[in-house]
Amino acid sequence: MNPRDIHAVLFDMDGTLVDSDAAVERAWTTWSAEYGVDAQRVLAVAHGSPAESVVELVLPGLEPTVRAAAAARQHELQYDDLSDVVPTPGAHELLDLLAKRGLPWAVVTSADQRLADARLGAAGIEPKVLVTIEDIAQGKPHPEGYLRGAELLGVPATACLVVEDAEVGLQAGKAAGAYTAALKGLDGDLKLTDLHQLAALL
C-alpha cells in the first residue's frame, strides 16, 4: 500500500479512535446476566459487531421486536458509562495530521447515534462525517457502512483506508474495496501497533 494512494480515512470508533473496551465489556457482562447468557460466550463474538447481530447469535430465533429491544437494552447500559472512555494512543496526533494534509476522514461505527456522540464527546473527537448503525440497513461485516462513509466524503472506497481493531470491521472494509489497517494483532494491508505508527506512515 502506497500512502499516496490514500485519499480519505474511514475509522471504526470503539477500540480504534476511542478506548472504550472496558465499558463495552461491562455492558455486555451486565446484559448477559440479565438475559441468562454466558458472558464469555457473548464477549467472544461481540467486539465490533452491531448489538442486534450479537443478540441474534447468542439468542437465535427471537421475534424481531424482542431482538430489537434486547439490542436497545445493551446500548442503554452504555450511554452513561463514560468514566474511563478516552482517545486511543495517537488518535489526536493522527487526526491533526490528516487535517494538515487535507485528507478527509469519517467514523463508521456499529454504535447508535446517541452512544457514538457520547463516546466521541468523551474522547474529544468531533467527526464531520459519522455513520452509525442507524444510518444503514446492514452492519459489519457487510460493507454498507464503509461504502456510505466513502460516499459522504466524496471519495471512492477503493481510495480509502479503513482503520479497524475488529475482524468483522476488517471484513467490511475489504468487502468495500478499501485498503485496511489493522490494530490489535489482526491482519490487514497494514498491521499497526497503534495510531502513532499510522501517523508516521502517512
pLDDT digits (tens, 9 = 90+) for 65-90: 999 999 999 999 999 899 999 999 99
Q: Which helix (H) or strand (E) holds 181?
A: strand 179-182
- Indicate the average pLDDT of the chain: 96
Q: Give percent of the chain above pLDDT 90.
A: 94
* pLDDT given at position 2: 86
Q: Band the pLDDT of 4: cuts 50, 70, 90.
A: confident
Q: Band the pLDDT of 30: cuts 50, 70, 90.
A: very high
Catalytic residues: 12, 14
The DSSP call for residue 65 is: H
Q: Band the pLDDT of 108: cuts 50, 70, 90.
A: very high
CA atoms within 13 A on the CB side of 71: 23
Domains of the chain: 3-20+85-201 (3.40.50.1000), 21-76 (no CATH)
Give the predicted TM-score (pTM) of the model. 0.90
Q: What is the 3-state secondary structure (H, E, C) of 146-171?
A: HHHHHHHHCCCHHHEEEEECCHHHHH
